[in-house]
A and B are shown apart, each in its own frame.
Chain A
Amino acid sequence: MKFLHAPGFFALFGFAGAVLLIFGAKLLGKLFLQKDEGYYDR
């Protein structure tokens, strides 16, 4: 895995990874994970 040793690879990985996690999680939340409070009481 040569690209692992490219300069700045982990900088890019950190930034892109964080963006991916933020938007990926938010998308999943919007689609079906996040409901209004008291969801389980209804």
Chain B
Amino acid sequence: MTGDWGILPPALAPFAGAVILPLLPKKFRSTAFLVFTLAALALAAAIPDGASLAVRLMGYELVLLRMDALARVFGLIFAFIAFAGGLYGFHLKDAAQQAAALLYAGSALGVVFAGDLFTLLVFWEVLALASTYLVWARRAEESLKAGFRYLMVHLFGGGMLLAGVILHAARTGSFAVERLTPDGGPAVWLILAGVALNAAVPPIHAWLPDAYPRATITGAVFMSAFTTKAAVYVLIRVFPGWKILLVMGVLMTIYGVVFAVLADDIRRILSYHIISQVGYMVAGAGLGTEMALNGSAAHAYSHILYKALLFMGAGAVIQTTGRSKLSELGGLAGRQKAIFALYMIAAFSISGAPLFNGFISKSMVVAAADEAGYPAAMLLLVLASVGTFLSVGLKLPYFTWFGPKTGAVPGARPPRNMLLGMGLVAALCVGYGAAPSLLYRILPFPVEYRPYTGAHLAETIQILAFTFAAFWLFRKILKPKPHELLDLDWFYRRPAAFFRRIFVDAPAAVYGWTDRLAVALIAKAAAFGRNPAGAISGGGDYSPDRYRQTTQALILLALGLFIVLALAVII
């Protein structure tokens, strides 16, 4: 081992928790969850910059920990949201799900602090496996299927990453997690594709809105935080300034909001807005300036808070009503004032309203695009912001808590710990929005950006007010109807039936046919062996008298024939 002894990688705490928690008595498990995530948070905060920890394994050096400012931003927020998620899910009595969530949080921390590509890759795969369980743990048939699709897609992404890492190491001899340039041959593009898949960059994004709405209520909270943001971290670290990321990022922001306008399931709407919000971070990585990279990291930090809170709010609605579609919800505000209020804090945050944390981070990326000389990108990012307020800030809450009643009744009150978890995250959304320097001072580069200027405030308030006006005018059009919303997962879901026919049903039919044929042939052969004559004539049981006369006649005929033949030869 090299590096500072006595320094433990933050990932170790949740991993230890995942092993120990299922062994504890039931009533201590949720508390243990909080303790282990809090330990990870303490480690992420306490380990000094520049610290590293490496172990030698078969002549190869695994860098399990490499601490610097960028890794710390992500490490802190990952550990915090794992803790908040644990509070929100404190009532859970499902050790497997709790262990999977700890494993998931640990692997996200592992990715962030990994100093070499091989270590990163290992955590990357654990990330996929642990999160798959959070989909399966819902124990519905559609969750089982969606979980398999999710796993397949992520194993494919992990495969691309592995291939890229091997090619890259073969070419350069380096396993370091460091900046790559586009001229690195197919290796770097394979690594980029593998990472982009986890960042849900179209066209390899459809796994996200497919699986997240089908995950467990608490599982989706963790999923909204870890997978995509761990990928964003790698994009900032390894691919800063790749212009393709600017293009894809801006595209993502719009793509997500368009689909969210149509979506009916509340967690599907939120899922599309993960894609949209991650687009800002991808675009920031693509811009590559110090301000843009700061903005990207800051927005990831803000996003994890408000997006977890949004999923917590949606989860509380599902928990209390048993329904998840806007077309089956409505008029719940009177009975769910606290859930509604906490949800709206997150909704204002994601919409970038002043005094909420989205305002201080999203605008950094937008301003960075403007400053770097991409006004078109800047305007498209603002347009996506309009769409965000439209769907998450207006459509979703209006048709859930107001709007026409559809018979949804909030049953039991949500567990108190759910509201406590939401309250904690909401406090940070508002806290960082009101005091941006708390966030700015932990960013990787010095910040000169000032969000609270007259022009920026005026601009934001105009946008929000007039988006609201448009929503109010056309809210009847926006009313969701039950439907299946197609996305690019069509390409592997729809042909599934076709491929099943060709590769499963058709061979099965051929096997069945040959099977029946063989059995029939053998039956025939057996019957023939037992009774050839009966088998040919189709007659019943064999009787020696039945053919006596015919046989006599035939023998006489043959005998006569031979006599005639013999006489003919003699004469």
Could you list which residues of chain A lie within 8 angstroms of chain B, going by C-beta atoms? 1, 4, 8, 10-15, 17-26, 28-29, 32-40, 42
Known contacts A14-B467, A28-B258; decide if A19 and B482 are in contact (CB<8 Å): no
The 9 tightest CB contacts between A and B, nearest first, are A18-B470, A14-B466, A25-B261, A14-B463, A15-B466, A39-B484, A11-B462, A17-B386, A10-B462
Check if A21 sits within 8 Å of B257, measured CB to CB: yes
Q: How far is the CA of A26 from the CA of B467 in the complex (A)?
A: 17
Residues of A within 8 A of B485 (CB): 29, 33-34
Minimum Cβ distance to chain B for residue A29 (Å):
5
**Contact status B486-A32, CB under 8 Å:** yes
Q: Which of chain B's residues 450-478 have a Cβ closer than 8 Å to chain A?
A: 458-460, 462-467, 469-471, 474, 477-478
The prevalent SS among residues of A at the interface is helix
- Chain B residue at minimum C-beta to C-beta distance from A28: B258
Interface size class of B (residues with CB under 8 A): 35 or more
Q: Which of B386, B469, B483 contacts A21 (CB 8 A)?
A: B386
Q: Is the CB of B484 within 8 A of A18?
A: no
Inter-chain contact B386/A14, CB cutoff 8 Å: yes
A37 to B327, CA, bound (A): 13
> Once the chains bind, are A40 and B484 in contact (CB under 8 Å)?
yes
A1 contact set on B, CB distance < 8 A: 375
Interface residues of B (CB under 8 A from A): 257-259, 261-262, 375, 379, 382-383, 386-387, 390, 458-460, 462-467, 469-471, 474, 477-478, 482-487, 493-494, 496-497
Docked pose: A13 CA to B474 CA in angstroms: 16
Q: A14-B470, A34-B485 are in contact. Are A21 and B390 (CB under 8 A)?
A: yes
How long is the Cα–Cα vector from A36 to B486 in the complex, in angstroms? 10
CB < 8 Å neighbour of A25 from B259, B379, B465, B484: B259
Contact A15 B484 (CB under 8 A): no
> Could you tell me if A25 and B262 are in contact, using CB atoms closer than 8 angstroms?
yes
Chain A to chain B contacts (Cβ below 8 Å), 29 pairs: A10-B459, A11-B466, A13-B462, A13-B463, A15-B466, A17-B383, A17-B386, A17-B387, A17-B467, A18-B390, A18-B470, A18-B471, A20-B383, A21-B387, A21-B390, A25-B258, A25-B259, A25-B261, A26-B477, A28-B258, A28-B262, A29-B262, A33-B259, A33-B485, A34-B262, A34-B484, A34-B485, A35-B484, A36-B484
Q: B417 CB to closest chain A CB, in angstroms?
A: 34
Chain B residue numbers with a CB within 8 Å of A32 are: 486
CB–CB B467/A40 < 8 A: no
Shortest Cβ distance from residue B397 to the other chain A in the assembled complex, whole angstroms? 16
Which of B257, B259, B383, B482 has most A Cβ within 10 Å?
Answer: B383
A26 touches B483 (CB 8 A): no
Enumerate chain B residues within 8 angstroms of A18, measured Cβ to Cβ: 386-387, 390, 466-467, 470-471
Measured between beta carbons, the chain B residues less than 8 angstroms from A8 are 462
Q: Which residues of B contact A42 (CB under 8 A)?
A: 497
CA distance A22 to B474 in the complex (A): 8
CB distance from B455 to the nearest CB of A (A): 8
The complex places the Cα of A11 from the Cα of B379 at a distance, in Å, of 13
Measured between beta carbons, the chain B residues less than 8 angstroms from A17 are 382-383, 386-387, 467
Tell me the minimal C-beta distance from A13 to chain B in angstroms.
7
B482 proximity list for chain A (CB < 8 A): 37
Q: Looking at the complex, which one of A20, A22, A36 makes contact with B483 (CB distance below 8 Å)?
A: A36
CB contact between B477 and one of A13, A15, A22, A34 (< 8 Å): that residue: A22
Contact call B262/A14, Cβ cutoff below 8 A:
no
Given contacts A14-B463, A19-B470, A33-B259, 14 further A-B contacts (CB under 8 A): A11-B466, A17-B383, A18-B467, A18-B471, A21-B257, A22-B390, A22-B470, A22-B474, A29-B262, A33-B262, A34-B485, A35-B486, A40-B493, A42-B497
Q: Kindly provide the distance from the CB of B560 to the nearest chain A CB, expressed in whole angstroms.
A: 75
Contacts of B496 in A (CB 8 A): 40
